Amino acid sequence: MYNFRWTNLLALLFILMIFSSFKQVSAPLNQGTWRGVFKLPANEIPFMFEIKSKGSDSISVFLINGADRFPIRHVSYRNDSITIPVDLYDTVLKAKVSGNTMQGRLFKLNTAKPDSGVPFNAVCGKLPRFAESTVSPSVSLQGTWDMVIGTGEDAEKTVGIFEQKGSILTGSILTTTGDYRFFEGVVRGKNFELSAFGGSTPYLLKGDFSSNDAFSGEFVTPRKTIKIEGKRNPNAALPDAYKVSYLKEGYSTIAFSFPNLDGKMVSLADQAYKGKVVIVTILGSWCPNCLDENKFLSGWYKENRSRGVEIIGLGFERKNDFESAKKTLGSLKARLGIEYEILFAGQSGTESASKALPQLNGISSFPTTIFIDKKGNVRKVHSGFSGPATGKFFEEFKTEFNQLIDELVNEK
């Protein structure tokens, strides 16, 4: 009798193990395009992404905004739960998957208080970002606009640049510290909507035209809704980005010494930089515009370093901790294929960056780019960065950048 009970117990445990193993098997993850919607109390912010998979251990997600496809690696899918970490921006999408739908939240990590997250739903399929409408556009957002975001003392003057093909809209908003990267949306009659989600914060821009050359509306994020106004202006532009930060009186150069990602101290006085044109970029791995600038600089450096030009990145990270910065800045460096030095210069914030370079009147934006000639003298300081989403402004920056470097390189 004893042996019989023992045998039955083993059989029961074996059956339970088999049942448990079947229970842990995830349903196949649908590949292709997904349309997600962040659910806010008074608004919905749509976003698009694509899933590619070679099994549960090899999944990639691409966030789609206009022409931009932002790749995310290290995606995990277990027990019908998907985790999509955006390491650069310290955010993560977590959701439960059921067939061709998912439901979850966007969380910000490393916050002072635990983040409750922004809820979202998503559906797999070839769906439009914004619902299609039978109402044809009666206005055009094509071109450049003087835009004001906010009211009163909090009002910020910006520049909008948009491209419209039929009812489809793409574009961006430029500020004195950078741009909002890639927006995508639609025009219906006299109304328009655009959204963007590149892994950090979801944005929604919507408005109504009062005339062909003026609109008003709202700029929406999960935290707040701000009034906006726009007036068409073919010559819309921001203040001169080369006049925001500059050397204090009595200084002709800058000096610093910070560790690279191997812990070795690096300074402008090192032999590697003597007699060369040096570009110093103030950056943070958390900063979308810094990502765009260093993507440009990384490719440019590979083609031009032989001309006697060096680049140094000064990274200011969320945590004032070398090991943490080594990980975040290392991730940025690997993602963009950066071959120049990235140094850890301190904690994120314009105040911290200003203290690190006391020879300047201050650092007001990330990124800020400093151009140094062969003698070690600072020749120009550029605040902010207008990336690929800004069209002609990005092209203008590249032209000015190359002209300045040509000038400095050709000096004897």
Q: What's the token pair of residue 18?
A: 């088999």
Looking at the fold, whether 120 and 147 belong to one and the same domain comes out as: no
Residue 57 inside a domain? The answer is yes
Residue 176 inside a domain? The answer is yes
In three-state secondary structure terms, 18 is: helix
Residue 85 inside a domain? The answer is yes
Structural domain containing residue 195: 143-232
Which residue, 232, 267, 285, sits at the end of a domain? Answer: 232
Looking at the fold, whether 228 and 177 belong to one and the same domain comes out as: yes
pTM higher than 0.95: no
Residue 261 inside a domain? The answer is yes
Separation between Cα atoms, residue 375 and residue 190, nearest integer Å: 57
Separation between Cα atoms, residue 377 and residue 196, nearest integer Å: 40
Parallel, antiparallel, or unpaired for β 277-283 and 309-317? parallel
Residue 390 inside a domain? The answer is yes
Number of separate domains in the chain: 3
Separation between Cα atoms, residue 45 and residue 39, nearest integer Å: 7
CA angle, 351 as apex, 370 and 181 as ends, to 5°? 60
Contact 177, 171 (CB under 8 A): no
Phi, psi of 362 (to 5 degrees): 150, 160
CB atoms within 10 A of CB 347: 16
Residue 330 inside a domain? The answer is yes
Looking at the fold, whether 330 and 405 belong to one and the same domain comes out as: yes
Looking at the fold, whether 151 and 76 belong to one and the same domain comes out as: no
Looking at the fold, whether 291 and 337 belong to one and the same domain comes out as: yes
Please report the beta strands in 264-322, taking only residues with DSSP state E, as ranges in sequence order: 265-267, 277-283, 309-317
Which residue, 96, 124, 152, sits at the end of a domain? Answer: 124
Looking at the fold, whether 268 and 388 belong to one and the same domain comes out as: yes
Looking at the fold, whether 151 and 99 belong to one and the same domain comes out as: no
The amino acid sitting at 312 is I
Q: What's the token pair of residue 58?
A: 């090899």
Separation between Cα atoms, residue 52 and residue 171, nearest integer Å: 27
Residue 24 inside a domain? The answer is no
Q: What is the pLDDT along the chain (412 residues), one digit of tens a residue?
A: 445 455 555 555 555 554 444 444 567 899 999 999 999 999 999 999 999 987 667 899 999 999 999 999 899 999 999 999 998 899 999 999 999 999 999 999 888 788 899 999 999 999 999 988 888 999 999 999 999 999 998 899 999 999 999 999 999 999 999 999 999 999 999 999 999 999 999 999 999 999 999 999 999 999 999 999 999 999 999 999 999 999 999 999 999 999 999 999 999 999 999 999 999 999 999 999 999 999 999 999 999 999 999 999 999 999 999 999 999 999 999 999 999 999 999 999 999 999 999 999 999 999 999 999 999 999 999 999 999 999 999 999 999 999 999 999 999 8
Looking at the fold, whether 401 and 325 belong to one and the same domain comes out as: yes
Parallel, antiparallel, or unpaired for β 32-39 and 118-124? antiparallel
Q: What is the DSSP string of 152-173?
A: GGG-EEEEEEEEEETTEEEEEE
pLDDT at res. 133? 80
Looking at the fold, whether 70 and 166 belong to one and the same domain comes out as: no
In three-state secondary structure terms, 341 is: strand
Contact 326, 332 (CB under 8 A): no
Which residue, 75, 90, 124, sits at the end of a domain? Answer: 124
Looking at the fold, whether 273 and 403 belong to one and the same domain comes out as: yes
pLDDT at res. 54? 79
DSSP symbol at 125? S
Entry field: residues in the chain: 412
Query: Which domain CATH number covers 204?
Result: 2.40.128.120
